[in-house]
Amino acid sequence: MPTIAIVGAGVAGLHLALHLQKEGLDVSLYEERTPDEIRTGRLPSTVGLSLLTRERQRALGVAHWEGPEHATSTIRIRVAAEPPIDFVGRLADQALFIDMRVYLPRLLEDFVARGGRVVRASLDAAGVRGLGAAHDLVVVATGRAGLTDLFPRVPERSPHAAPMRRLFAGIVRGLRMPPGPMEFMFQLSPGHGEIFENQYITLGGIVPSLLIEAIPGGALEPITRMRYEDDPARFDAALLDAVLAHAPLTAERVDRASFGVAGPRDYLTGAVTPVVRRAYAPLGGERFALALGDLHITHDPITGQGANMATLAASLAAEQIAGQAAAGAAFDEAFCADLEDRLWNGLRAATEWTNAFLLPPPDHALALLVAAARSQKVADAFTTNFSYPDRQWAILSSPEATASFIASHA
């Protein structure tokens, strides 16, 4: 039986490891952090998992968050315009907003409980080559910042050479959750960026979280360059100002006296450069490494596609790896090149849509938002399609396609 090494127990590495384990393959998972270190670490993201990821985790037997209290079933979108564009779309399929500090350790423990082998190691490029000597295939899923030198950027698939947004994400206190079922809120402040609010499953229960996508040079940028640790009161005041000025749906539920970041580890600031890298690299001796998840394709979080595309990529890779193993065939360059094509075909729409969404919206995209505010059917279809990037990009990639979508739904 071939042996597979996976480096990185993020959502990509874990979904792949659990899938291959289910297929009965010999998998070793190399991860630099223990489950407890992940649990007690800094907030890494504010991830919403779509129906398709939820179906994948059900198939893997790791759907631990299935109660009605865990599901988000509407998306409210508001654009600051005169008059504002404001609508609520009902999702055909519910989303799961969950702290990766809850999700990843739980799946890692599932993998171990089922007999999976986890090696605690922080690997560099030489370490990955070393794994290549001992395994038939190495899959590297170390996220957007780990081991990137092994996999060159593909310029023709990477239109942005620098971050298009600066980010703040955090779990907050002093914000009353909206009454009724959980709702994801998407507030656009033209020229400044976007503020997202959701109710988030964390170790401490379900609490509000915010993501600010700040356009560089706009009024939301300063908070993304501050450090809470330097002056917590100043940081919280700046966050409050940003919410009051640019997130009216959130501002109406803020308690000004107590509003702020929940704790020093409960926020992140920074920026993401969207990139597509080559999906495989030679390790010498006829062995290859595959790149998976953010390491292969990094999406800006603006459309909520990164983790969902990582689980899609893991599922596509697992099927091909299991098929190759069953056939007794080698994980050679032809196998890797074929998988790279399959991954690009599967992820391309999400990547192109996300990269386009980072630019000022074209008129036809604004027309779609206006149509959604007038027609519940358009609103429901548009918001549901955040789970279906192929459909969403097919609709948004040309004025004609958008017009035909509006005409058929309005």
- Exactly one of 5, 13, 150, 389 binds ligand FAD (CB under 6 A); that residue is 13
| Sign of the torsion angle spanned by Cα atoms 199, 76, 270, 298 | positive
CA angle 22, 11, 120 (to 5 degrees): 80
Closest CA to 350 of 379, 315, 408, 391: 391
* Bridge partners, residue 171, by sequence: 209
- Per CB under 6 A, 164 contacts ligand FAD: no
Based on CB atoms, which residue is closest to ligand FAD, 38 or 406?
A: 38
- Exactly one of 23, 26, 32, 109 binds ligand FAD (CB under 6 A); that residue is 32
Identify the three-state secondary structure at position 48: strand
- Per CB under 6 A, 307 contacts ligand FAD: yes
Query: Which residue's C-beta sits nearest to ligand FAD?
Result: 10
Residue 102: partners with Cβ closer than 8 Å, 6 or more residues away: 39, 201, 202, 203
On whether the CB atoms of residues 263 and 319 are closer than 8 A, the answer is no
- Per CB under 6 A, 302 contacts ligand FAD: no
Task: Please give the residues from 193 up to 252 whose contact with ligand FAD meets the rule CB under 6 A.
Answer: 211
* Bridge partners, residue 206, by sequence: 201
Based on CB atoms, which residue is closest to ligand FAD, 142 or 187?
A: 142
Based on CB atoms, which residue is closest to ligand FAD, 104 or 395?
A: 104
- Per CB under 6 A, 35 contacts ligand FAD: no
Tell me the window of 16-24, 139-147, 281-289, 352-360 that interacts with ligand FAD (CB under 6 A): 139-147
Peptide bond connecting 83 to the previous residue in cis, omega within 30 degrees of 0: yes
- Per CB under 6 A, 169 contacts ligand FAD: yes
| Amino acid, res. 110 | D
- Per CB under 6 A, 141 contacts ligand FAD: yes
Calculate Rg over the CA atoms of the chain.
Answer: 21
Tell me the window of 65-73, 294-302, 335-343, 371-379 that interacts with ligand FAD (CB under 6 A): 294-302
Residues found near ligand FAD in the complex (CB under 6 A): 7-13, 30-33, 45-48, 122-123, 141-143, 146-147, 167, 169, 211, 293-295, 301, 304-308, 310
